[in-house]
């Protein structure tokens, strides 16, 4: 693999998020990696290179997401592909397939469980044969959550000699917006469920990405409830649907080191610890809003209005000041079999949907090709937590503005 022309290719570099990835790789030095940018238009790629002041060594490569022959030729030139071209259920399969067949590592920003479930079955035998490491969900969904659990459980093993049977992931603070790609993916998923109502069972199943395994009943994340471990009220968190599935898949791919009966839940804290009735009202309002939102999104005219007037359009996104003003704080709390409480805190220093995500996916790709050998992570379809684990925790802590620490 080291004789490839490039270490990384950023596919979709003319899009808003792809451009941020290219900018981050340039400004960070990309760990000394050889990299290129790719997309449908060489003219647009040239403008990106000029506007970002990328060095001439960053090659411009033309390939269309719908052209399998061009994609096959593209992935043959690199050790790893970073793709930001979503929704993946519309545009992702040809590129992921080309990587799985060609032995090229692949990372994306996918938060679309219906597509991921289908791709796991299709790509796993191809990737295991070729040696390709296919890693979905390398952005805000789901790296901070997936790795937050990995980090906490590693600490539990050190302190108690055993994993925590239950972990609660809680969004303590968040400032910033979900990316347009995330929202567009949600809309496409709703359309898929409308066409095939039986898919709603896949969306509701926390073990939908662990084929052949079904764990214990998991807590509902759609209600308003008081979290006694956090001493605060909590309500639904809209990304829990995908994050929860990835956490359980990480456990399964690692051979269930946290136990086959592991329980994980994910919610948004709606008040400060001990805030009382104000937090309760916020949690109940959030739960009602979530129910109404789900009903509204099932109504075709409402989806049409959102597409036209609300969803971030391709090429759009928050400006630099807004991205840098964003941040997030996540809590991961568990109790040992002996009743001892342990909490990890994960913090991100940028807007989660763009400013942090562009760093997360870039460092995930670099970690895969520079830090993780195929003896540790062979060909297959992985999560960030199972493919890279603590190696990625260390890299993100050192380079990407994330902190992983244990609460006092």
For residue 391, with 0-12 CB atoms within 10 Å meaning exposed, 13-18 middle and 19 or more buried, which class applies? middle
- List, for residues 151-171, the tens digit of each pLDDT value: 999 999 999 999 999 999 999
**3-state DSSP assignment of residue 114:** helix
**What is the C-alpha separation between 391 and 380, in angstroms, rounded?**
18
Q: Which residues neighbour 227 within 8 Å (Cβ) at sequence distance 6 or greater?
A: 168, 170, 233, 234, 267, 269
By the 8 A CB rule, do 138 and 235 touch?
A: no
Element at 332 (helix H, strand E) = strand 327-335
Q: How far apart are CA 344 and CA 152, in angstroms?
A: 6
pLDDT by 10-residue block (mean), the chain, 408 residues: 88 96 97 97 97 96 97 98 94 97 98 96 98 98 97 97 98 82 72 80 94 95 92 93 97 98 97 75 86 58 47 67 95 95 97 96 98 97 98 97 95
| CA distances, 368 to each of 7, 326, 371, 376, 391 (Å) | 10, 27, 6, 11, 9
- Round to whole Å and give the CA distance between 152 and 385: 12
Two tokens, residue 104: 């090229």
User: For position 314, what pLDDT does the model report?
Assistant: 47
Chain-wide mean pLDDT for the chain?
91
How many angstroms separate the Cα of 365 from the Cα of each of 9, 131, 209, 223, 240?
A: 10, 16, 22, 36, 24
Q: Would strands 6-11 and 35-39 be described as parallel, antiparallel, or unpaired?
A: parallel
Take residue 123 and report the two structure tokens written for it: 């790509």
For the chain, the distance separating the N- and C-terminal CA atoms, rounded to the nearest angstrom, is 44
Model confidence, pTM = 0.93
pLDDT tens for residues 339-378?
999 999 999 999 999 999 999 999 999 999 999 999 999 9
pLDDT at 275: 63
The whole-number pLDDT of residue 191 equals 77
Radius of gyration of the chain (CA): 20
pLDDT for res 290: 79
Going along the chain from its start, the domains and CATH numbers come out as: 6-140+355-390 (3.40.50.720), 143-350 (no CATH)
Largest CA distance in the chain: 62
- Put the strands of the sheet holding 59-62 in their side by side order: 59-62, 35-39, 6-11, 78-83, 105-108, 133-135, 380-382
Q: How far is CA 314 from the centre of its chain?
A: 19
Of 367, 320, 351, 360, the residue nearest 21 (C-alpha): 360
Look at residue 178 in the predicted model and tell me its pLDDT. Answer: 63
Q: What is the pLDDT of residue 210?
A: 98
Phi, psi of 192 (to 5 degrees): -65, -40
**Distance, CA of 187 to CA of 296 (rounded, Å):** 12
Alpha-helical segments (H) within 269-356: 277-297, 300-305, 320-325
Give the 3-state secondary structure of residue 329.
strand
What is the pLDDT, as a whole number, of residue 198? 81
d(CA 402, CA 346): 7
Pairing verdict, β 232-235 and 263-269: antiparallel
Q: Residue 263 is encoded by which pair of tokens? A: 């329980």
Eight-class DSSP state of 400: S
341 pairs with which residues across the strands? 335
């Amino acid at each position: 693999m080291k004789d490839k022309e490039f270490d990384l290719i950023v596919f979709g570099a003319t899009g808003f998020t792809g451009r941020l990835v290219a900018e981050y790789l340039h400004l960070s030095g990309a760990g000394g990696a050889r990299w290129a940018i790719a997309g449908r238009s060489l003219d647009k790629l040239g403008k990106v290179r000029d506007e970002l002041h990328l060095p001439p060594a960053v090659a411009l490569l033309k390939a269309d997401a719908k052209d399998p022959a061009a994609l096959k030729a593209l992935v043959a030139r690199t050790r790893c592909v970073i793709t930001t071209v979503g929704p993946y259920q519309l545009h992702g399969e040809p590129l992921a397939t080309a990587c799985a067949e060609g032995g090229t590592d692949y990372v994306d920003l996918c938060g679309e469980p219906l597509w991921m479930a289908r791709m796991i079955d299709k790509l796993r035998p191809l990737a295991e044969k070729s040696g390709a490491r296919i890693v979905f969900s390398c952005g805000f969904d789901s790296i901070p959550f997936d790795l937050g659990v990995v980090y906490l459980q590693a600490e539990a093993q050190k302190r108690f000699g055993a994993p925590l049977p239950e972990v609660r992931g809680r969004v303590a603070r968040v400032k910033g917006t979900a990316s347009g790609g995330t929202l567009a993916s949600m809309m496409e998923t709703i359309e898929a469920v409308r066409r095939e109502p039986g898919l709603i069972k896949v969306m509701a199943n926390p073990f939908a990405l662990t084929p052949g395994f079904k764990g214990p009943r998991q807590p509902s994340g759609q209600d308003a409830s008081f979290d006694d471990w956090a001493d605060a009220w909590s309500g639904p968190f809209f990304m829990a649907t995908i994050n929860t599935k990835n956490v359980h898949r990480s456990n399964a791919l690692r051979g269930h080191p946290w136990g086959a009966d592991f329980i994980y839940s994910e919610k948004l804290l709606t008040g400060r610890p001990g805030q009382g009735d104000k937090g309760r009202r916020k949690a109940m309002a959030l739960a009602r809003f979530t129910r109404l939102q789900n009903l509204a999104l099932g109504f075709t005219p409402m989806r049409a209005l959102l597409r036209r007037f609300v969803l971030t359009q391709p090429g759009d996104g928050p400006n630099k000041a807004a991205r840098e003003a964003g941040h997030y704080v996540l809590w991961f709390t568990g109790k040992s079999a002996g009743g001892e409480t342990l909490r990890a805190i994960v913090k991100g220093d940028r807007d989660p949907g763009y400013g942090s995500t562009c760093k997360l996916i870039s460092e995930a790709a670099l970690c895969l090709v520079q830090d993780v050998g195929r003896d540790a992570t062979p060909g297959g379809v992985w999560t960030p937590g199972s493919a890279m684990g603590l190696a990625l925790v260390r890299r993100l802590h050192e380079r990407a503005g994330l902190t992983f620490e244990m609460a006092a």
